[in-house]
Amino acid sequence: MKSLNQSPLILPENLKPTASKLPAAEHEFRNEFGKIYCKVSYLSAPHVIVAEWHGYSTKTQVEPVMNWIAEWCEKNTCTTLVNDCSNIKSVWFDTIEWFSRIWVQKMKQLGLQNFIHVANPGSFGDRIGERLQSMLSDQVQFLRVGLRADVMNWLENR
């Protein structure tokens, strides 16, 4: 397992973005109570899409977000996904099979090469990351990181 929880973030050369730090687009997804459960941002110059998850998410909520990301990436270059599960309070075990078998395959066809999973050690998000890594590490370059700030600072300073 590649775990970068407390050490400085060192990512491979092919993940290093070349310019802009500001989101080129943002989209929020709200649950039936009007609370944001996912915020998606796109950084155009490094071709990074960031999905920031909050609270409880079910398969019926995860799939529309991931399908929206796929539609966005059909029109925009997306080589890296930052899947931030730092603030999630549920486990996606009912979603991971669909995610790994169907969604990631489609995204690979659209150019996805790198998957960075962010989660606090020992959290629900970390459990999601463990499962995803075991299913995706032979399909895309997969990194697990403990702090979103490490990834975002790295992206902003390149």
Consecutive 10-residue averages of pLDDT for the chain (158 residues):
38 39 74 93 86 90 93 92 91 82 92 92 90 90 86 69
- Residues sharing a CB contact under 8 Å with residue 152, sequence separation 6 or more, in sequence order: 50
Please state the pTM of the whole predicted model: 0.80
32, two tokens: 């039936």
The DSSP 8-state label assigned to residue 26 in this structure reads E
Count up the domains in the chain and report the number: 1
**What is the predicted pLDDT for the residue at 137?**
87
**What is the predicted pLDDT for the residue at 9?**
39
7 located within any domain: no
**What is the predicted pLDDT for the residue at 11?**
40
17 located within any domain: no
146 located within any domain: yes
Residue 97: C-alpha distances to residues 19, 59, 79, 128 (Å): 35, 11, 22, 11
**What is the predicted pLDDT for the residue at 35?**
93
Q: Which domain holds residue 37?
A: 23-90+98-156
Phi, psi of 59 (to 5 degrees): -60, -40
CATH, residue 37: 3.30.750.24
149 located within any domain: yes
56 located within any domain: yes
**What is the predicted pLDDT for the residue at 29?**
94
**What is the predicted pLDDT for the residue at 150?**
79
